[in-house]
């Protein structure tokens, strides 16, 4: 039987954020928890499946491995059950993909090592998330040394096998009844000794350089999205493949708009008279244009108006979310004597017809108090 996709099990998309993932897992785990479904074999299987999927997707490195290799990432490395130690299964992945066939034994002098994955935090504006953007970033990263091509040895010289460990990189030491394996102290696990180190990298084989990379940010990205740049991570050791670079996107809060998925919200203050008399207001849209909203006579504070397709762009889609304009009626302050006079005059003309909410509320209050009096 083929295994189900982890994202599918958790009912989330492949671009799910850590927070959303956790929420979805919690909800489903509660639902299928064995305590809640006693004797239900299906629920038990489901619960195990959920746990396994969450264990992988909630761990950045494991998730990256899963995104790349699918279930295969965990098939070779693990013992019984879940994924084994990360470095173990990474080396197994490495083998199955590059056919090194070096087994899981000691690391020879030629043992290649995959470079580490790197994380880069990138903050963008809501406008950039709306329109998409090509962002240029500068990433300090270690690369194979150009002078020695990553060998660490000076040109013309050669590294030799470490005499302490015989090139294995690890040594065994006896402690009483036990035999303990540890990293070789002579070569620090490299398995080789460099007598004449390269001057470009002091024998490390790697140098730190700042690289300029171009990141394509698609329109409609969500806060917390990860973008993987394959092979742009740290350089591998001894000719091993480079790691990946993960761009973690965060979106800055906007001064005017709030986002909720594909929709945008904007609160717009309007004057008391505009709200009472009605009219038209001009509101901004995220693409820098303006839209007009008709305010009907007698509009109350908090009223929302929907502008169709004026919201956020949707990832990998031509669709657009909506823009919701919420009007807030502003009560006038610091009145002049004349304004005060006009409002007092207005007040004298007010009635239950002009203020139905007020009239209705105080009517209900009267009934309520009257009811209490009757019961007493
Ligand atoms: Zn070098
Ligand atoms: Zn050694």
Query: Are 138 and 254 a contacting pair, CB within 8 Å?
Result: no
Ligand number with the minimum distance to the CA of 207: 1
- In angstroms, the CA 219 to CA 173 distance is 58
What's the token pair of residue 311? 């919201």
pTM of the model: 0.57
98 — pLDDT class (breaks 50, 70, 90): very low
CA of residue 79 to ligand 2 center, whole Å: 29
State how far the Cα of 298 lies from the Cα of 283, in Å rounded to an integer.
19
Q: Say how many Å lie between the CA of residue 149 and the centre of ligand 1.
A: 6
Is-contact 248 121, C-beta < 8 A?
yes
The pLDDT of 332-345, averaged and rounded, is 96
Cα(193) to centroid(ligand 1), Å? 14
CA of 144 to the centre of ligand 2 (A): 22
Q: Mean per-residue pLDDT for 126-143?
A: 91
Contact criterion met (CB below 8 Å) for 186 and 162: yes
* Among the listed residues 318, 321, 315, 319, the one whose alpha carbon sits nearest the alpha carbon of residue 16: 315
Cβ 201 vs Cβ 207: under 8 Å? yes
3-state class (DSSP) for residue 129: helix
Ligand with smallest separation from the Cα of 153: 1
Averaged over 157-166, what is the pLDDT? 88
Helix H or strand E encompassing 157: none
Distance from the alpha carbon of residue 150 to the mean position of ligand 1, in angstroms: 6
pLDDT at 374: 57
What are 295-298's contacts with CB under 8 Å, separation 24+? 295/270, 295/327
Higher-scoring residue by pLDDT: 107, 261: 261
Ligand 2: centre distance to CA 191 (Å) = 5
Question: Which ligand neighbours the alpha carbon of 109 most closely?
Answer: 2
Ligand 2 centroid–CA 163 distance in Å is 6
How far away, in angstroms, is 120 Cα from ligand 1 center? 26
pLDDT beyond 50 at 78: no
> Most confidently modeled of 42-56, 251-265, 355-369?
251-265
Query: What are the residues facing 271 on neighbouring strands?
Result: 330
How does strand 258-260 pair with strand 263-271? antiparallel
Q: Which ligand is nearest to the CA of 151?
A: 1
- Specify the residue for token string 């999927």: 53
Q: Which of 161, 354, 340 is nearest to 276 (CA)?
A: 354
* Mean pLDDT, rounded, of the chain: 83
Check residue 256 and report its DSSP letter.
S
Q: For residue 169, give the ligand nearest its CA.
A: 2
DSSP labels, 288-325: S-EEEEEE-TTPPTT-EEEETT-S-B-TTSS-B--EEE
> In which element (H, E) is residue 41 found?
helix 41-57
Which of 86-90, 207-211, 266-270 is least confident?
A: 86-90
The closest alpha carbon to 91, from 75, 114, 64, belongs to 114
Predicted confidence at residue 89, as pLDDT, reads 36
**What pLDDT score was predicted for residue 137?**
93
- pLDDT confidence of residue 100: 34
The percentage of the chain sitting over the pLDDT mark of 90, rounded to a whole number, equals 40
Note the ligand closest to the C-alpha atom of 143.
1
| 310 Cβ contact list (under 8 Å, min separation 6) | 264, 285, 286, 291, 320, 322, 323
Q: Which ligand is nearest to the CA of 155?
A: 1
- Which ligand has the minimum distance to the alpha carbon of residue 189? 2
pLDDT at res. 27: 86
Confidence of residue 85 (pLDDT cuts 50, 70, 90): very low
Ligand that lies nearest to the alpha carbon of residue 190, given by its number in the listed order: 2
Least confident among 86-100, 160-174, 264-278: 86-100
Cβ atoms of 324 and 296 within 8 Å: the answer is no
CA of 263 to the centre of ligand 2 (A): 60
Per-residue pLDDT band for 110 (boundaries 50, 70, 90) equals low
Per-residue confidence at 245, pLDDT binned at 50, 70, 90? very high
pLDDT band at 182 (very low <50, low <70, confident <90, very high): confident
Question: How confident is the model at residue 88, as a pLDDT?
Answer: 37
CA of 99 to the centre of ligand 2 (A): 25
Average pLDDT over residues 169-192: 81
């Amino acid at each position: 039987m083929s295994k189900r996709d982890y994202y599918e099990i958790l009912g989330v998309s492949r671009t799910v954020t850590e927070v959303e993932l956790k929420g979805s897992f919690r909800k489903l785990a509660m639902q299928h928890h064995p305590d809640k479904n006693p004797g239900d074999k299906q629920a038990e299987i489901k619960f195990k499946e959920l746990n396994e999927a969450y264990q992988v997707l909630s761990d950045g490195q494991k998730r990256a491995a899963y995104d790349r290799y699918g279930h295969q990432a965990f098939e070779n490395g693990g013992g019984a059950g879940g994924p084994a130690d990360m470095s173990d299964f990474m080396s197994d992945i490495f083998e199955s993909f590059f056919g090194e066939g070096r087994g899981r034994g000691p690391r020879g002098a030629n043992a290649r090592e995959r470079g580490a994955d790197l994380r880069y935090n990138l903050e963008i504006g809501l406008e950039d998330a709306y329109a998409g953007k090509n962002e240029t970033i500068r990433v300090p990263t270690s690369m194979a040394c150009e002078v020695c091509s990553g060998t660490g040895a000076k040109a013309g010289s050669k590294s030799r096998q470490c005499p302490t460990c015989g090139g294995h990189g690890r040594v065994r030491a006896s402690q009483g009844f036990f035999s303990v394996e540890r990293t070789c102290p002579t070569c620090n696990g490299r398995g080789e000794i460099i007598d004449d180190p390269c001057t470009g990298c002091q024998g490390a084989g790697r140098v730190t350089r700042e690289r300029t990379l171009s990141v394509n940010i698609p329109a409609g990205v969500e806060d917390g999205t990860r973008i993987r740049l394959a092979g742009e991570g740290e350089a591998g050791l001894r000719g091993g493949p480079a790691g990946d670079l993960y761009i973690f996107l965060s979106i800055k809060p906007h001064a005017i708009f709030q986002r909720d998925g594909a929709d945008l919200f904007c609160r717009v203050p309007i004057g008391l008279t505009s709200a009472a008399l009605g009219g038209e207001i001009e509101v901004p849209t995220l693409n820098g244009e303006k839209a007009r909203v008709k305010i009907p006579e007698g509009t109350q504070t908090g009223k929302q108006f929907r502008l169709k397709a004026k919201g956020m762009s949707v990832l990998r889609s031509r669709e657009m979310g909506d823009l919701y304009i919420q009007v807030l009626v502003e009560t006038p302050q610091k009145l002049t004597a004349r304004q005060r006079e006009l409002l007092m005059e207005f007040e004298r003309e007010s009635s239950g017809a002009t203020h139905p909410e007020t009239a209705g509320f105080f009517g209900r209050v009267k009934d309520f108090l009257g009811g209490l009096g009757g019961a007493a």
